[in-house]
Amino acid sequence: VPTAGRVELRDVTFGYPGAERPVLDGVSFVAEPGQTTAIIGSTGAGKTTLLSLVSRQYDPQQGSVAIDGVSVSDLGRHEMASVVGLIPQKPYLFSGTIGSNLRFGRPEATDAELWEALRVAQGADFVREKTHGLDERVSQGGTNVSGGQRQRLCIARALVARPRVYLFDDSFSALDVATDARLREGLGEATAGATVIIVAQRVSTIRSADQILVMDGGAVVGRGTHDELLESNETYREIVES
Ligand code: DGT
Ligand code: MG
């Protein structure tokens, strides 16, 4: 039974240092463990910024961000890594081996655990094809791993760490529809019980989410299920129809 990973934002306002206007304005929501919360909205709406507050890359100027009732500003960096797994919109690798990248959040993970995470992330095949497998070297700007492969490695890295909260920032839109469907089917099992927040562009990716938040201009302008929003929310209908 899921009991941990509840994310709660209360009246959060945030602006980037030096910027005149806030990027998020009075954002409140709860994301429950065992559920998927999807966030959709036009470019610049503030989706990535929202995730960066949950993963505490920034602190809000007003309001609070809490996980299981504890303000994220009270969590240390190390603690944070085991609580929140962020799969960034621009996935990055550290210079090192594929294995060391995958173990970043949990150094004691076994090879078997890495392969299982790779299987779920639809990355096992290409890693197996590398001459050195998990010991293949990658570099930050390296070209021996494609953008799509980088993304899958970042998903696998988050799975290995087994956080309470997963934040997927637009992680699926570059995948072909079949791979997207396979990946998310496996993810459902691998992340069961955790809180999953998915920023997405494709309606097919978020259709089945327990809760969808519609963002526009730094505010949450709608929330509900796909069917509820189709019925009630003009912004959502515009996104779905575009
Ligand atoms: P996307 O990924 O294109 O769909 O857009 P979102 O919804 O992820 O938007 P986000 O959060 O990246 O940006 C929201 C606003 O904040 C947008 O006007 C650009 C601005 N912004 C984003 N990152 C930074 C930053 O690092 N510094 C400053 N000054 N502004 C930023
Ligand atoms: Mg973004």
On whether residue 147 sits in a domain, the answer given is no
- DSSP string computed for the chain: ---S--EEEEEEEE--TT-SS-SEEEEEEEE-TT-EEEEEE-TTSSHHHHHHHHTTSS--SEEEEEETTEEGGGS-HHHHHHHEEEE-SS----SEEHHHHHTTT-TT--HHHHHHHHHHTT-HHHHHHSTTGGG-EE-TT-SSS-HHHHHHHHHHHHHHH--SEEEEES-STTS-HHHHHHHHHHHHHHTTTSEEEEE-S-HHHHTT-SEEEEEETTEEEEEE-HHHHHHH-HHHHHHHH-
The amino acid at 28: S
On whether residue 19 sits in a domain, the answer given is yes
On whether residue 108 sits in a domain, the answer given is no
Domain count, the chain: 1
Phi, psi of 27 (to 5 degrees): -85, 125
pLDDT of residue 142: 66
pLDDT of residue 35: 96
pLDDT of residue 2: 52
Say which ligand is closest to the CA of 20.
Answer: 1
Q: What's the token pair of residue 17?
A: 């240092």
Q: What's the token pair of residue 140?
A: 């930050």
Atom of ligand 1 nearest to the CA of 215: 7
Q: Which of 12, 47, 89, 206, when mutated, tests ligand 1's pocket best, judged by the most ligand atoms within 8 Å of its CB?
A: 47
Rounded Cα distance, 158 and 24, in Å = 26
Say which ligand is closest to the CA of 41.
Answer: 1
Residues with CB under 6 A from ligand 1: 16, 19, 23, 41, 43-49, 89
Q: Which of 13, 20, 49, when mutated, tests ligand 1's pocket best, judged by the most ligand atoms within 8 Å of its CB?
A: 49
pLDDT of residue 135: 97
18-29 b/e (C-beta count within 10 Å ≥ 16 → b): eeeebbbbebeb
CA of residue 230 relative to chain centroid, distance = 24
On whether residue 160 sits in a domain, the answer given is no
On whether residue 146 sits in a domain, the answer given is no
Ligand 1 center to residue 193 CA distance, Å? 30
pLDDT, one tens digit for every residue, the chain (242 residues): 456 899 999 999 999 999 989 999 999 999 999 999 999 999 999 999 999 999 999 999 999 999 999 999 999 878 888 899 999 999 889 999 999 999 999 999 999 999 999 999 999 999 999 999 999 999 876 678 888 899 999 999 999 999 999 999 999 877 888 888 899 899 999 999 999 999 998 888 889 899 999 999 999 999 999 999 999 999 999 999 88
Give residue 26's domain range.
7-92+165-241
ipTM: 0.99
Atom of ligand 1 nearest to the CA of 18: 29
Ligand 1 center to residue 23 CA distance, Å? 8
Ligand 2 center to residue 87 CA distance, Å? 12
What CATH number is given to the structural domain containing 222?
Answer: 3.40.50.300
Say which ligand is closest to the CA of 45.
Answer: 1
Q: What's the token pair of residue 96?
A: 């090192």
On whether residue 198 sits in a domain, the answer given is yes
On whether residue 133 sits in a domain, the answer given is no
Ligand 2 center to residue 5 CA distance, Å? 22
